[in-house]
């Protein structure tokens, strides 16, 4: 088989695949955008679509909840880091009433605030990743529901069977 014939055959297979499955109402994710029935959505706009399939809706709401928590913790972490840095700067410049040149013990308050801010930022990142994972799982659950609703066969099998040309491997999908 030449390269051109392989290319044409693979193109026909791809077109056949998209023509057969393109009629169903699948939800697709590309980067941060979601596509449903040829229309683009952001993840916050998908609630009416997910309400069609209860398990996918639950997973979607968990993902949205985690994304909201991540945003809140990330913002609080930034406030703590900024406020703690200002506290360290302000408190370290204050003279203390002691005879020796020991550092101001109150600067530890600012350092603790900065460290707490970094911990909140790490927690926010973890929540963001978990939320994104749940949103991806919600897409998969939704699409499985569409497959079951439209009666698409999910399982494939390969077995030895009698065909019109004799005995051969039969691939069912």
pLDDT for position 23: 44
Question: Model confidence at 153, in pLDDT bands (50, 70, 90)?
Answer: low
Whether 36 is in a domain gets the answer yes
**Lowest-confidence pick of 53-62, 73-82, 102-111:** 102-111
Structural domain including 80 reads 23-172
Whether 164 is in a domain gets the answer yes
pLDDT digits (tens, 9 = 90+) for 57-75: 999 999 999 999 999 999 9
Whether 1 is in a domain gets the answer no
pLDDT for position 15: 47
CA distances from 97 to 21, 86, 100, 103, 173 (A): 78, 22, 9, 11, 83
Share of the chain above pLDDT 90, in %: 21
pLDDT for position 20: 45
Whether 17 is in a domain gets the answer no
Whether 4 is in a domain gets the answer no
Task: Give CA–CA dist 4/152, Å, rounded.
Answer: 32
Q: Which helix (H) or strand (E) holds 159?
A: strand 157-163
Q: Which residue pairs from 65-70 have beta carbons closer than 8 angstroms and sit at least 24 positions apart in sequence?
A: 65/131, 66/127, 66/128, 66/130, 66/131, 66/134, 67/43, 67/127, 67/128, 67/131, 67/132, 67/135, 69/124, 69/127, 69/131, 70/124, 70/125, 70/127, 70/128, 70/131
Number of domains, the chain? 1
Task: Give CA–CA dist 74/151, Å, rounded.
Answer: 44
Query: Is residue 114's pLDDT more than 60?
Result: yes
pTM across the whole model: 0.63
Query: Is residue 143's pLDDT more than 90?
Result: no
Whether 8 is in a domain gets the answer no
Q: What is the torsional sign of CA 151, 154, 160, 163? A: positive
Query: Is residue 17's pLDDT more than 60?
Result: no
Q: Mean pLDDT, the chain, as a whole number?
A: 78
Whether 15 is in a domain gets the answer no
Q: What is the mean pLDDT of residues 10-38?
A: 65
Whether 3 is in a domain gets the answer no
Helix, strand, coil share (%) of the chain residues, nearest 5: 65, 15, 20
pLDDT for position 16: 47
CA distances from 34 to 58, 85, 138, 159, 161 (A): 18, 40, 12, 38, 42
């Amino acid at each position: 088989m030449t390269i051109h014939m392989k290319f044409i055959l693979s193109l026909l297979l791809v077109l056949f695949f998209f023509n057969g499955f393109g009629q169903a109402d699948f939800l697709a994710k590309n980067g941060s955008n979601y596509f449903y029935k040829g229309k683009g959505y952001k993840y916050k706009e998908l609630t009416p679509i997910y309400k069609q399939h209860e398990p996918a809706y639950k997973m979607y709401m968990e993902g949205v909840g985690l994304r909201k928590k991540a945003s809140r913790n990330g913002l609080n972490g930034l406030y703590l880091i900024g406020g703690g840095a200002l506290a360290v700067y302000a408190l370290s410049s204050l003279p203390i009433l002691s005879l020796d040149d020991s550092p101001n013990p109150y600067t530890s308050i600012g350092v603790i605030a900065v460290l707490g801010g970094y911990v909140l930022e790490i927690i926010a990142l973890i929540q963001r990743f978990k939320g994104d994972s749940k949103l991806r799982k919600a897409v998969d659950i939704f699409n499985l529901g569409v497959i079951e609703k439209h009666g698409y066969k999910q399982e494939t099998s390969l077995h030895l069977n009698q065909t019109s040309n004799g005995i051969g491997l039969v691939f069912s999908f």
